[in-house]
Amino acid sequence: MKLLRKGTKLYSILKLKCPHCQEGNLFIKKNPYDLKNFDKMPKRCPVCGTDFERESGFYWGAMMISHANTTILAVAVHLIIHHYYGWQPFPFLIVFLTLLISLITIVFRTSRAIWINFFVKYDPNFKRAEENKAEVS
């Protein structure tokens, strides 16, 4: 059994895919280090049409996820640095701030993916956006 297979929440989160169809991308640009576009999301999934802007302020909850992810990173860095240097704050700060600055866009995107996955379930029998538009017309 693979953990990272289509149909799992982990697949959607780590691949940054739509939680409903797991085919459409959550972000417009794949490169998290394109600083002008790292946070840009389409309003709807380009494949299934799932609304990514569920309500005003929806992603505020992702800030709590981001805080938790950053805390986990800080604790891990602290344990590793403590093992080698003891209770020295300077090595910890250098390593932690370097990692935080280099990973902040990835933490941001992953936190949003985790948050939307709390509210949207995977549907293996989803209808494509084009089919949804044809049914409405």
Q: How many helices (H) and strands (E) does the chain have?
A: 4, 0
In a domain, 3, yes or no: no
The mean pLDDT value of the chain amounts to 90
- For residue 29, name the pLDDT band (cuts at 50, 70, 90): very high
- DSSP sequence for 73-111: HHHHHHHHHHHHHSS-HHHHHHHHHHHHHHHHHHHHHHH
In terms of residue numbers, what domain contains 35? Answer: 9-132
Residue pair 48/120 in contact (Cβ under 8 Å)? The answer is no
In a domain, 44, yes or no: yes
Query: pLDDT, tens digit, for every residue of 36-90?
Result: 999 999 999 999 999 999 888 999 999 999 999 999 999 999 999 999 888 888 9
pLDDT at 75: 95
Total domain count for the chain? Answer: 1
How far apart CA 107 and CA 3 sit, in angstroms, is 21
What are residue 51's phi and psi, to 5 degrees?
Answer: -75, 115
Q: What is the pLDDT of residue 125?
A: 87
Q: Is residue 83 part of a domain?
A: yes
User: Residue 117: inside a domain, yes or no?
Assistant: yes
